[in-house]
Amino acid sequence: MGTMLFGLMLFTLGWTLIDGSEMEQGFMWHVRKIPRLVSERTFHLTSPAFEADAKMVLNRVCGIECQKDLPAPSLSDLEDSLSYETVFENGSRTLTRVKVQGWVPEPTQNLTSQGAPVRRKRQVYGTDSRFSILDKKFLTNFPFNTAVKLSTGCSGILISPNHVLTAAHCVHDGNDYIKGSKKLRVGLLKMRNKGGGKRHRGSRRNRREVSGAGREESQDSLKETARAGRRRKGSARGQRAADGRPSFQWTRVKNTHIPKGWARGKSGDPALDYDYALLELKRPHKKKYMELGVSPTIKKLPGGMIHFSGFDQDRADQLVYRFCSVSDESNDLLYQYCDAESGSTGSGVYLRLKEPDKKRWKRKIIAIYSGHQWVDVHGVQKDYNVAVRITPLKYAQICLWMHGDDASCTHG
């Protein structure tokens, strides 16, 4: 606990320095016009089989170096990739074709690393710099309360009262939806009730069970039995809290949206650029959520740093926070050195920048953590930790999924 608090103190100090000096140099959110994504036609598809195995690492994807040698996608290519599948709670599925309007091609990003060290097959680079968030006051308050856990084993982030953003591979392997995604659930962090939640109902049941044998037991022995039961339950709750394991409120997913650039089916391999998905919850939550933002270039990241929190599987359901520098970027991807293990994929990568014409700073999501991926670097397979950037087109698509039309998606 002391180590975590010390790390957070250092982190707060770092932000104070950034906010005080670097922010004055222009590290702020810039409002920009977003291209329009218009739904053109929706087709009904056959229901998925839901038989794919979850994959946290793709066998072969085209990364930043590979993409440099590819021609820029045409408008029709983009419209095909941004068309999307929707799978509903009852197992039905649709495909929606879209048209892009007002799109201006962005200049190709150059590699930013100079002589970056060779990286081996690992997800934690050198000293493990992750922080387990154990204090419930941190867990249930912004920004950590926006992190969610998926029943398929991934993480995600709340982006509205009804929506969770995550990685597409958490629910779909590029060919089919994974096992368990038909009855997908999302776990929201919550505080445990004082007194232990269901204890009173259990106590009444115990009293009813014991009353039948009341003739054979004395009043003193009944009191001792009740006290022992309370001690056992209190000990279990205390042990769970001591382990830093959060409590979850699970809710069902109403529908799931995935871009066609990922859900290729048998027509081709999934594109890492489109490893993101939106989940609509069956019931809205009342927690504070984090808004979407368009990903700035590395030069506009304060300290060159990004941040995200997720449920790494090697930390026994603990919420794990990390921040690190970005090494490379393309128009759609970020390569970074953030220490992370499986379970954290699907986390929302965010920044804290100054709002225009205001004296306050705001956190927004600028990417989705895709995980530890093998990428093609000049014909050789190398491994990186990769995040998928929220570009203006992806912002328009996610906004369309959330609102059902593009009227609320003109600026971001």
| Spatial CB neighbours of 176, under 8 Å, sequence gap ≥ 6 | 48, 49, 50, 51, 52
d(Cα 85, Cα 266) in Å, to the nearest integer? 15
In a domain, 264, yes or no: yes
By the 8 A CB rule, do 84 and 397 touch?
yes
Dihedral sign for Cα 218, 224, 225, 226, please.
positive
d(Cα 236, Cα 258) in Å, to the nearest integer? 40
d(Cα 365, Cα 402) in Å, to the nearest integer? 15
pLDDT at 377: 66
In a domain, 399, yes or no: yes
d(Cα 81, Cα 257) in Å, to the nearest integer? 13
CA-based nearest residue to 315, from 246, 236, 385:
246
| Amino acid found at 68 | K
User: Which H or E run includes 229?
Assistant: helix 219-242
H-helix segments, 107-218: 136-139, 199-211
CA dist 15 to 8, 34, 275, 301, 409, Å? 10, 29, 30, 12, 30
For 341-386, how does the pLDDT look when each residue is reduced to its tens digit (9 = 90+)? 888 999 999 999 888 877 788 999 999 999 887 766 667 777 778 9
CA-based nearest residue to 164, from 179, 182, 185, 138:
185
Based on the structure, what is the number of domains in the chain? 1
DSSP of 336-358, one letter per residue? E-----TT-TTPEEEEEEEPTTS
In a domain, 39, yes or no: yes
| Spatial CB neighbours of 73, under 8 Å, sequence gap ≥ 6 | 81
In a domain, 99, yes or no: yes
pLDDT at 339: 84
Q: Is the peptide bond before 270 cis (omega within 30 degrees of 0)?
A: no
By the 8 A CB rule, do 402 and 378 touch?
no
Residue 106 structure tokens: 């962005």
Residue numbers of the domain that contains 371 = 31-103+129-191+244-403
DSSP of 311-342, one letter per residue? --GGGTT-EEEEEEEEEEE-SSEEEE-----T
What 3-state DSSP class applies to 89?
coil
Dihedral sign for Cα 15, 17, 19, 22, please.
negative
Query: What's the whole-model pTM score?
Result: 0.80
In a domain, 393, yes or no: yes
In a domain, 236, yes or no: no
The CATH number for 338's domain is 2.40.10.120
CA-based nearest residue to 186, from 278, 248, 260, 94:
248
In a domain, 79, yes or no: yes
pLDDT at 159: 97
pLDDT at 307: 93
In a domain, 199, yes or no: no
CA dist 122 to 27, 125, 341, 386, Å? 32, 7, 9, 13
| Amino acid found at 361 | W
pLDDT at 285: 94
What 3-state DSSP class applies to 125?
coil
pLDDT at 170: 95
pLDDT at 59: 57
Q: Which residue has the tokens 């328009």?
A: 396
CA-based nearest residue to 386, from 17, 84, 63, 5:
63
- Counting as low any pLDDT under 50, the low residues of the chain are 1-24, 110-122, 195-219, 221-226, 228-242
Q: Which residue has the tokens 């950034």?
A: 18
